[in-house]
Amino acid sequence: MVANLYADLARMLGRGGQEALLQHRVARPQQRQLTALLQQARQRLKHQVQPLLAGQTADNGKQRRFVIHLQPHGDLQLAFVFRFLFQPIAIVARGQQHDLSGAFRVNDGAFYEKYYGFTHQHPALLEQAVYGLAEWSVEKLKEANLIAVPGCYPTAAQLSLKPLINAGLLDLNQWPVINATSGVSGAGRKASIGNSFCEVSLQPYGVFNHRHHPEISTHLGADVIFTPHLGNFKRGILETITCRLKPGVSKEQVAAVFQQAYADKPLVRLYDKGVPALKNVVGLPFCDIGFAVQDEHIIVVAAEDNLLKGAAAQAVQCANIRFGFAETQSLI
């Protein structure tokens, strides 16, 4: 997954006539493996991705405006990241930071002990971190120095549910049910029986214990039932979310709430009729949302590219907001 994200980041940051240099820091044992993955079938990215070994520094003398971290979360990974990038003056002197792991998504150390199984090593930085759900965090992102980019599943789920919850349209005594299906790219590029094309079958996983579940609930401020599924396709996420409306809420009210939330948000596309399909978002930085209402029930469908709006594109969108560019700069 890391190699795929680097490729997407390099492609996006190289657009618009801007110079883009992506440097990756990995421990020496993993250096050859990651470099080989980046070079394999990626001649188009030459001069856009520059390997950087642990302990090395860039020699171009240019100021680093922001850094995007793709390391996994966890004790060893956190120690590695902070050894090189989060020394005491790092946030001021070394640029604004984006983290695509789960290590800063919730400003509560107890959350990580309970759901991730480690004690957070940097509570002060955890307190500073801004959750980068871009459409809902614009003002905070403008001042942020450490941005925690949301997970792929939580991005689509929250974009679908936040307008409805915030407007008080849902009867939350009946928990929203989120059935989500992702392509195998979310599991990375490493070959295994579990993601082999001949073996992959539509199947739920992480039932009641996927780490994105508490991330979704925490940031929505509401209990949900979340069941992720692995699909036999390469990339993309489709989420079908079933909720109960409060008595008297109409389809027109729902449509008005979504329009109010996203009319000026260029990377969320609302459907006037019908519901989204993966083919319309794969390779693009959008989250598409549609819905249907029957009596007191609503079904919301959201589609996104898990590696773009669910990861790399949202990181770039947050950087655009932070530095005062158009949200779509380098993305479309």
Which residues participate in catalysis according to the annotation? 152
Residue that is written with structure tokens 């959750």 in the block: 131
Residues 317, 283, 45, 329: what is their CA dihedral angle, to the nearest 10 degrees?
A: -30
Judged on CB neighbours under 10 Å (0-12, 13-18, 19+), 302 is buried
Q: CA–CA distance from 35 to each of 3, 27, 32, 53 (Å)?
A: 9, 12, 5, 10
Provide the 8-state DSSP code for 281: T
DSSP 124-164: HHHHH-EE--GGG-HHHHHH-SEEEPPPHHHHHHHHHHHHH
Residue 130 near residue 147 (C-beta atoms within 8 A): yes
- Identity at 282, one-letter amino acid code: V
Residues 88, 132, 162, 138: what is their CA dihedral angle, to the nearest 10 degrees?
A: 100
Judged on CB neighbours under 10 Å (0-12, 13-18, 19+), 198 is exposed
User: Helix, strand, coil shares of the chain as percentages rounded to 5?
Assistant: 40, 20, 40
Six-digit token string for 288: 């598409």
